[in-house]
């Protein structure tokens, strides 16, 4: 009985020690989660800045329909710059569809690129993108200083730039819309503002 009692005491001590270790690890994970902010779209300083009016572009879609980018519009607009040879762009096409459905009537999505019309027409058909407005304009890309893809720009109803950046994932695309909704240039700016207010308090 003495040996059994000692074994029970030792096992109880081990279980208590393990519980303390798990609690300590959980606390450290919580602290780490608070310190590491989610990664939003990778912003650049080139081109029209957040809060500025976008230049207006009167373009024609691949369907031959007139389309204005940067003009006042009933809904916000997400301009998604892509390339026919960009694998990440292709990966984000289902995400664009999902975002459009989730945003309902609050957001229009425009696909933008440059190059030969025939190449993009073939890409559009192969990727089943005929339900998206698709424009080709080197001036549009040059104005926003697009040098890496995929890149997205969010404009509000007045044509003001509310978000922009290099986007490689759904989270980064959504971060542009979240920043727009919060009135911030980026998710990172929002977290910095929150951290600053908590420090003051």
- Mean pLDDT, consecutive 10-residue stretches, the chain (201 aa), reads 78 91 82 49 72 95 96 95 95 94 91 96 95 96 92 95 91 85 56 50 50
Query: Looking at residue 143, what is its pLDDT?
Result: 94
Q: 61 Cβ partners below 8 Å, 6+ apart? A: 67, 133, 134, 135
Residue 77 has a pLDDT of 96
- List Cβ neighbours of 104 (8 Å cut-off, separation of 6 or more): none
User: In the beta sheet, which residues pair with residue 60?
Assistant: 66
pLDDT at 10: 86
Q: What is the pLDDT of residue 5?
A: 81
pLDDT at 9: 83
| Residues 159 and 56: beta-carbon distance below 8 Å | yes
Q: DSSP labels for 31-86?
A: HHHHHSPPP--B--SSSSPTTSBPPPEEEEBTTS-EEEESS--SSEEEEEE--TT-
N-to-C CA span, the chain = 59
């Amino acid at each position: 009985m003495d040996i059994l009692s000692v074994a029970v005491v030792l096992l109880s001590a081990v279980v208590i020690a393990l519980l303390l270790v798990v609690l300590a690890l959980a606390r450290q994970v919580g602290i780490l989660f608070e310190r590491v902010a989610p990664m939003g779209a990778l912003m650049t300083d080139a081109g029209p800045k957040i809060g500025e009016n976008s230049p207006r572009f009167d373009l024609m879609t691949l369907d031959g329909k007139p389309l204005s980018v940067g003009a006042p519009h009933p809904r916000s607009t997400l301009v998604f710059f892509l390339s026919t040879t960009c694998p990440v762009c292709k990966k984000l096409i289902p995400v664009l569809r999902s975002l459009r459905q989730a945003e309902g009537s609050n957001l229009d999505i425009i696909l933008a690129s440059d190059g030969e019309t025939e190449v993009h027409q073939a890409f559009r058909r192969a990727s089943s993108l005929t339900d998206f407005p698709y424009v080709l304009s080197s001036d549009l890309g040059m104005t926003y200083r697009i040098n890496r893809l995929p890149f997205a720009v969010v404009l509000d109803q007045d044509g003001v730039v509310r978000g922009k950046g290099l986007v490689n994932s759904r989270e980064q695309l959504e971060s542009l819309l979240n920043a727009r909704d919060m009135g911030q240039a980026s998710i990172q700016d929002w977290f910095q503002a929150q951290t600053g207010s908590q420090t003051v308090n």
